[in-house]
Amino acid sequence: MSIITSRAKLLSTVFSLALAFSAPAVHAETPANVLVVAQSIDDAVSFDPAEGFELTTVQSFNNIYQRLVQSNRDDGTKIEAALAATWEAGSDGKSLTFALDDAKFASGNPVRPEDVIFSLTRAVKLNKSPAFILNELGWKADNVDAAITKVDDKHVKLTWTADVGSGFALSILTAPIASIVDEQTVSPQAKDNDFGNGWLKTNSAGSGAYTIATYTPHEALVLQANANSSDKPTLESVIIRNVPDVGARRLLVEQGDADIARGLSADQIEALKDKSGIKVLSVPSARQDYILLNSKANPTLGNPAFWEAARYLVDYDGITKNLLRGQSSVHQAFLPNGFPGALSDTPFKLDVEKAKKILADGGIKTPFKIEFIVFNDQPFLSIAQSLQSTFAQAGITLDIQPGVASDIYARGRAGKFEMTLRYWIPDYFDAHSNASAFAINKDNSANTVAKQAGWVIPELTDETLAAVKEQDAAKRATLYQDLQKKIQASSPFVFMLQGNDQVVLSDKVKNYAQGLNADQVYYDKVAK
């Protein structure tokens, strides 16, 4: 049972009306003006946009806060106005001046340049998980105050020192960390110079369609319509319920006690496809699954012949068609389909004989064993067992060791692993997010995926930095294609799959939208 906050009193009126008009039977349908979502919210750490960086939190930021600019819902590559009505790039190519639209926060306060400055500078100074995104612009705690300035009551100017163009800067500003918070509401709540972080962990102060009515960790997040928003939602309230068990989630949505269910497995979705009253929405996502090899672990793993052979020992079709059934498609480059410049060639297929030949030609003797650490979760365990089976046909024994996520990540960072299965979700909607992870490692100083693979690539690093500098969109795309081809051909990464997010909806739900990137979940237009 949750404790009622004063803001939730309005919410209780909503439900009391529902109570009054329908004698709640044991088999109750969800109230007509409330959207009930069944998923896991155990990952949520904080609802402060400067801190939250988990799926649950970034998806909610989309609905609670607005940014200066946002990605178009249908085509993520297009950037459109949000809190900023128009913008102008500076002549030096390193600044942008935004003209703010008339918008109001949930509190009724207008959105002013002071709020923009507050939001962005606090995000950099707090230096929490997603801060690295803003660091891409060269913003650091000591220079960010000077970088973001108020021009007049309606204009704010952003400058940056990093060697990047304004197109890139705009992409960065569409990321959830660049959400604009209501400075006049948040500042009074600040304690010990935390810029209101402690309060914003469980409360909201945004201009988006919804506000946080109550948040009970591990139980539910209740969102309530924001009357002052320029983006008025159709439904009065959204309740995101924590239902940790996947089977229970499925039962809830089947019975109509939940309108949306997320995170169901491929087999369950297969079984639900023909049920009446519910529909399955398959949304392409930017998430990719890949094998990460530690080239420093031993000479075999550092041998490019092994890298190449591994590409032919993955049962791409078997995994996507039989095991994962529509939850993934084959994709073998580091930019996912939907990103400009994505390479959609898939030259590799399961070919054990070819792999054996490559190994022999490369001087690698079989049989040998590799320690394969895997997240103890689906779909990783399934994929891992499939790989075990196909690699075995070439004489390579994969010793699967399931483990806890943070332990596996720690080992990855420390370079204490041989082979692992990972996933990557872009942090912001720009090719550089992925490129900087896989194609940058000058000297093992920055923590990129290439570094975790022990792969030092000064030339590729330079190419990648050149690509992010490039202002012309078409040229940029070509540069990234080039990079992808090189990495696809030879690297200690084996890209295998790009995901499809399968969401189960009750037939009553209309206008549900979800985009390519992880945070792009939109509840404001949903109707029942």
Contact 33, 494 (CB under 8 A): no
Looking at residues 174 to 203 of the shown chain, list those that interact with other proteins (rule: CB under 8 A).
198, 201-202
Asked whether position 24 contacts other proteins by CB under 8 A, the answer is yes
Please report how close the Cβ of residue 261 comes to other proteins at its closest, in angstroms. Answer: 12
Asked whether position 277 contacts other proteins by CB under 8 A, the answer is no
Given the complex with other proteins, which of 23 and 146 has the nearer CB atom? 23
Phi and psi at 496, nearest 5°, equal -120, -50
Given the complex with other proteins, which of 303 and 382 has the nearer CB atom? 382
Q: Which helix (H) or strand (E) holds 89?
A: strand 84-89
Q: How do 396-403 and 368-375 pair as beta strands?
A: parallel
Member of 92, 276, 406, 443 binding other proteins (CB under 8 A)? 406
Strand order in the sheet with 84-89: 84-89, 95-100, 155-159, 148-152
Asked whether position 135 contacts other proteins by CB under 8 A, the answer is yes
Taking the CB of residue 485, how many other CB atoms lie within 10 A of it? Answer: 13
Give, as one character, the DSSP assignment of residue 178. G
Give, as one character, the DSSP assignment of residue 167. H
Contact 364, 393 (CB under 8 A): no
Member of 67, 94, 112, 128 binding other proteins (CB under 8 A)? 128
Nearest-angstrom CA–CA distance, 174 and 178? 7
Asked whether position 28 contacts other proteins by CB under 8 A, the answer is yes
Block residue for tokens 């709020």:
115
Asked whether position 161 contacts other proteins by CB under 8 A, the answer is no
Asked whether position 107 contacts other proteins by CB under 8 A, the answer is no
Looking at residues 452 to 511 of the shown chain, list those that interact with other proteins (rule: CB under 8 A).
none
Return all residues near 237 (Cβ < 8 A) that are at least 6 apart. 11, 14, 33, 34, 35, 213, 222, 223, 224, 225
Member of 427, 463, 519, 524 binding other proteins (CB under 8 A)? 427
Member of 409, 454, 508, 528 binding other proteins (CB under 8 A)? 409
Of 38-46, 78-86, 333-341, 467-475, the segment contacting other proteins by CB under 8 A is 38-46
Tokens matching residue 51: 């801190």
Looking at residues 367 to 396 of the shown chain, list those that interact with other proteins (rule: CB under 8 A).
376, 378, 381-382, 384-386, 388-389
Please report how close the Cβ of residue 327 comes to other proteins at its closest, in angstroms. Answer: 13
Taking the CB of residue 246, how many other CB atoms lie within 10 A of it? Answer: 17
Nearest-angstrom CA–CA distance, 117 and 68? 11
Nearest-angstrom CA–CA distance, 141 and 138? 10
Asked whether position 247 contacts other proteins by CB under 8 A, the answer is yes
Asked whether position 257 contacts other proteins by CB under 8 A, the answer is yes
The binding track of 54-83 with respect to other proteins, each residue x by CB under 8 A or -, is: x-----------------------------
Given the complex with other proteins, which of 404 and 474 has the nearer CB atom? 404
Please report how close the Cβ of residue 382 comes to other proteins at its closest, in angstroms. Answer: 7
Tokens matching residue 58: 């970034």
DSSP, collapsed to helix, strand or coil, labels residue 509 as coil
Member of 291, 292, 323, 355 binding other proteins (CB under 8 A)? 323
Please report how close the Cβ of residue 375 comes to other proteins at its closest, in angstroms. Answer: 9
Tokens matching residue 461: 């690093």
Given the complex with other proteins, which of 268 and 346 has the nearer CB atom? 268
Given the complex with other proteins, which of 90 and 244 has the nearer CB atom? 244
Tokens matching residue 279: 């529909």
Number of residues that bind other proteins (CB under 8 A): 90
Given the complex with other proteins, which of 182 and 259 has the nearer CB atom? 259
Nearest-angstrom CA–CA distance, 300 and 155? 58
Asked whether position 32 contacts other proteins by CB under 8 A, the answer is no
Asked whether position 322 contacts other proteins by CB under 8 A, the answer is yes
Contact 49, 177 (CB under 8 A): yes
